[in-house]
């Protein structure tokens, strides 16, 4: 009898990075359950078995529907959380509601999905959270987002320690600036793009597909000794001192 098909759940699957993760995992032989507030994008090129669940990642019913779809495809072995939440504004202008809204999606929902998948998954499964370089550095006006991503990195470490005895690994990837549709105004402007690229030692932007390939590696057996890691996928941004004016 052939082994069951490995299944990964991907939240935020309709976004730039999330959709790249869905496509890449499918090409690597995973069955995938994508979860988002919107229907599956018409242009999403997917190979193999996929299901799509429309729902709010904060709702328990969405988690239940996604897990039911996943168990119908094979053995739950992976989770990727790629759901975006941000609240821009000066640190002293934020209020508790704004911070809570970011934390609900970036941290509380990631914890809820992680615990639910761990309960349903086989041993030696893997979780990858999409964090950000903002968890390691500060930028004016991005405090809520940065604090949330730093908490997500802490969740990764806690998961690695507590679930490691089961063989379940928990890691994060930290993308830098990734040109996707929602930030097109920045990378399509030559002057803005040039300033951004000045902080990339590799001299090019990291693509959503670059991030997705690292996610696929961390989910797979080749990374079986890697857990508790927050891995930058940033073109060298975090390695570089900012250019002084």
Which residues participate in catalysis according to the annotation? 145, 149
Answer whether 238's CB lies under 8 Å from 232's CB.
yes
Q: How many whole angstroms separate alpha carbon 241 and alpha carbon 245?
A: 12
Q: How many whole angstroms separate alpha carbon 119 and alpha carbon 117?
A: 5
Radius of gyration of the chain (CA): 18
Give the DSSP H/E element, type plus range, for residue 128: strand 126-130
Closest CA to 218 of 208, 228, 205, 207: 228
Closest CA to 215 of 14, 26, 3: 26
Q: How many whole angstroms separate alpha carbon 11 and alpha carbon 168?
A: 19
Answer whether 147's CB lies under 8 Å from 140's CB.
no
Q: How many whole angstroms separate alpha carbon 117 and alpha carbon 78?
A: 8
User: What are residue 213's phi and psi, to 5 degrees?
Assistant: -65, -40
């Amino acid at each position: 009898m052939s082994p069951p098909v490995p299944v990964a759940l991907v939240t935020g699957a309709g976004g730039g990075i999330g959709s790249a993760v869905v496509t890449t995992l499918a090409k690597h032989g995973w069955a995938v359950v994508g979860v988002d507030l919107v229907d599956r994008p018409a242009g999403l090129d997917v190979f193999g078995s996929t299901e799509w669940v429309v729902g709010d990642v904060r709702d328990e019913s969405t988690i239940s529907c996604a897990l039911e779809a996943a168990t119908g495809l094979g053995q739950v072995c992976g989770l990727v959380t790629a759901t975006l939440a941000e609240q821009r504004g000066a640190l002293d202008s934020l209020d508790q509601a704004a911070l809570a809204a970011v934390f609900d999606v970036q941290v509380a929902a990631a914890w809820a999905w992680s615990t639910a998948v761990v309960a349903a998954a086989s041993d030696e499964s893997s979780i990858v959270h999409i964090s950000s370089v903002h968890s390691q550095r500060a930028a004016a006006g991005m405090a809520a987002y940065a604090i949330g991503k730093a908490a997500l990195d802490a969740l990764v470490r806690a998961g690695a320690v507590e679930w490691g005895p089961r063989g379940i690994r928990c890691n994060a990837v930290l993308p830098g600036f990734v040109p996707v549709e929602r930030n097109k105004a920045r990378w399509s402007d030559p002057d803005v793009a040039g300033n951004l690229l000045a902080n990339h030692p590799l001299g090019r932007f990291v693509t959503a597909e670059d991030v997705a390939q690292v996610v696929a590696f961390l989910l797979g057996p080749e990374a079986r000794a890697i857990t508790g890691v927050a891995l930058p996928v940033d073109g060298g941004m975090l390695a570089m001192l900012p250019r002084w004016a």
